[in-house]
Amino acid sequence: MEHPLSLFRFCPKCGSPRFEAHNFKSKKCADCGFTYYFNPSSATVALIVNGQDELLVCRRAKDPAKGTLDLPGGFIDMDETGEEGVAREVKEETGMEVVKAEYLFSLPNIYLYSGLNVHTLDMFFRCTVRDLSHYRGMDDVADAFFVPLKEIRVEDFGLRSVREGLKRFLSMAQAR
């Protein structure tokens, strides 16, 4: 896999073509001294379970992994906390209002976006919503529906970090 920094050929500060590898995660301009570190983008994943031990699942409307199962979530905006980001994403994708977001764990991921492999840090939250009965697939979600935890097939989910996160979450749920 090509390193994401290989796409950056010119210094973003002065425009010099002498924007060279500094170390594995950064490039430095030989002319102005600017150093750019390629760090992961923050993303969220929502785990919403109803009173019947069913998990809210979505079907992806867009690539990557169009048509596969997913969980609500997405990239965090600038000046947003993880909790604010997961609440906004759940609202945009399902119409549901998050009233509590409990951080569980995080996993690294690589997400193909606009032809670029974006390294992400996906933060998983167990979310409580105001009303579990009114939701629908919106934004980049084709459909949303509840599936009993015991019937979740991790291999049906298209994104690696979501599969890994579901394995961890399901083992946590079994331990309760």
* Residue 2 falls inside a structural domain: no
CA–CA distance, 126 with 91 (Å, rounded to integer):
15
User: Residue 1 corresponds to which tokens in the numbers above?
Assistant: 């896999």
Same domain (yes/no): 31, 79 = no
E strand segments, 9-62: 19-23, 26-29, 35-37, 41-47, 54-60
Please identify which residue in the block is written with the tokens 């609500």.
Answer: 72
Same domain (yes/no): 112, 151 = yes
Same domain (yes/no): 104, 130 = yes
Same domain (yes/no): 93, 156 = yes
Same domain (yes/no): 95, 135 = yes
Contact 38, 119 (CB under 8 A): yes
Q: Which helix (H) or strand (E) holds 174?
A: helix 160-175
Contact 18, 5 (CB under 8 A): no
Query: How many Cα atoms occupy the beta-carbon half-sphere of 151 within 13 Å?
Result: 10
Query: How many Cα atoms occupy the beta-carbon half-sphere of 17 within 13 Å?
Result: 0
What was the pLDDT predicted at 6?
85
Same domain (yes/no): 28, 50 = no
Same domain (yes/no): 31, 46 = no
What was the pLDDT predicted at 1?
64
Query: Which residues on adjacent β-strands are paired with residue 110?
Result: 119
* Residue 1 falls inside a structural domain: no
Please provide the size of the chain in residues: 176
The parts of the chain modelled with pLDDT lower than 70 are 1, 176
- Structural domain including 23 reads 7-37
What total number of domains does the chain contain?
2
CA–CA distance, 96 with 134 (Å, rounded to integer):
7
What was the pLDDT predicted at 45?
98
CATH number assigned to the domain comprising residue 101: 3.90.79.10
Same domain (yes/no): 86, 23 = no
